[in-house]
Amino acid sequence: MQYAGKDEMFARRDDPHGFGTSTRPDIRPETRVHPAATEQDNSAAAPAADFLCFSHLRWGFVHQRPQHLMERFSRHHRLFYVEEPVEADIAEPGLAVYGTSCSITLLVPQLPRGMQGAEAEAAQTAVLDKAFRDLGIARPILWYYTPMSPQFADRLDASIVVYDCMDELSGFQGVSPELVNRERALMERADLVFTGGYSLWEAKRERHANAHPFPSSVDIPHFAQARSIPEAADQAPIPGPRLGFYGVIDERFDIGLLDAIAALRPDWQFVMLGPVVKIDPENLPRRPNIHYPGMRNYAELPSYLAGWDVALMPFALNEATRFISPTKTPEYLAAGRPVVSTPIADVIRHYGDSGVVRIAETPEAFIEACEWALSIDRTSPDWLAAIDRTLSDMSWDSTWSRMKELIECVR
């Protein structure tokens, strides 16, 4: 079995989903195949089932739903996170294996450059088959984030198959035309289907008898740090007021809206944190009051939020955003920041009447909503209490616990 280096593993900036170089510090440089037995939770009388998560999201890209949930499942299972393959300068297919700062092992198929289609899928299936045999995996929990991963439900005699549909991937740019049929097949085989929001659940529930909505959750203590810590040093020289966004800047981002509001309010400063993927950076609006600091890791985000007066969600209204339930909504709120968003269905559903989020579509309406947000006393006990009421049942621990109960009911 061949192994690739860490830099090579995260080198694909042309990935069709835009998952690129890791900036997170939690991927260990060592390569290993067998995680230590002590990494499992052995408190139960019977050993917990092995857990295989197949994802289109690179573990080291941005810290979101898969990372939050898998970190929690890894406390109770020997857990392997299987990423999509990467191309490498190798003659034969292989597998890169990496540890993380938690007890999760990353498995990344390595394919010779130019290998595509059925040949590529057969190759990654073969290297994973061998790894699973070497690791002694039997009757695992199979958890899928993408229908495009090779299907192991029958090959491994899975104890349960879960499809956590966090986005409507068919609406994204650059996805395989096979995705719709592959998803249909996965849903037929899945024992449980979870969705990343209510709108997505409404679109999927007729296709599966055991589908459940799980909108975005939040690590409240992490983001609540922004209420009391100093802001990031490299952001401090930017004058106020500051209106910020963090996340992937791609086809879901309304660059026209940003350009219009920045032009109408040159006295406001717009801080856009995050990588630019699947769109040409040259097409981004360039004005003196728009700043693109690049990507920051999860641990750093509260220090940037600490220096924002308003948190923005300028999403475009298109197929890629039709069913989204943005994780950043509760994260922004946990930081104590008022939020202004375009009319995303699940944002309206969950936050439209909350009093802590304003919805606006046109540049003029967006500016009016931002003026409301700028008038908020973010240190007011009443304001923070309203936020805390809104987020009272939205922790990742709560979401994970409910998912775990559903899995146990099926098993």
CB 251 within 8 A of CB 271: no
Confidence check: pLDDT of 375 > 60: yes
> Residues 141, 158: contact at Cβ < 8 Å?
yes
CB 335, CB 305: distance < 8 Å = yes
| Distance in angstroms (rounded) separating the CA atoms of residues 239 and 208 | 51
pLDDT over threshold 50, residue 172:
yes
Chain mean pLDDT for the chain: 86
Strand partners, 165: 195
This prediction has a pTM of 0.81
Q: Domain residues of the chain, as ranges?
A: 6-216+396-410, 220-390
Q: Please classify residue 374 by burial: count the beta carbons closer than 10 Å to its beta carbon, then call 0-12 exposed, 13-18 middle and 19+ buried.
A: middle
Ranges assigned E (strand) in 259-360: 269-273, 290-294, 310-313, 339-341, 357-359
Task: Encode pLDDT of 174-197 as tens digits.
Answer: 667 787 888 889 999 999 999 998
What pLDDT does residue 411 have? 74
Structure-derived torsion over alpha carbons of residues 335, 336, 342, 346, reported in degrees to the nearest 10:
70
Residue 14 pLDDT greater than 70, yes or no: no
pLDDT band (50, 70, 90) for residue 35: very low
> What percentage of the chain has pLDDT greater than the value 70?
87
What pLDDT sits at residue 156?
A: 86
Asked if 179 and 169 touch (Cβ cutoff 8 Å), the reply is yes
DSSP count for the chain of H helices, then E strands: 13, 16
- 6-216+396-410 and 220-390 have identical folds: yes
> For 268-278, what is the mean pLDDT?
94
pLDDT tens sequence across 88-135: 999 999 999 998 878 899 999 999 999 988 899 999 999 999 999 999
Alpha-carbon distance 74 to 44, whole Å?
14
pLDDT of residue 39: 36
- What is the average pLDDT across 353-378? 96
Confidence tier at 249 by pLDDT (50, 70, 90): very high
Yes or no: domain 6-216+396-410 corresponds to CATH 3.40.50.2000: yes
φ and ψ at residue 301, rounded to 5 degrees: -55, -40
DSSP code of 329? H
- The CATH number corresponding to 220-390 among 3.30.465.10, 3.30.300.10, 3.40.50.2000, 3.30.70.2740 equals 3.40.50.2000
Residue 222 has pLDDT above 60, yes or no: yes
Which residue from 407, 404, 402, 400 is spatially nearest to 190, judged by alpha carbons? 407
pLDDT digits (tens, 9 = 90+) for 389-410: 999 889 999 999 999 999 999 8
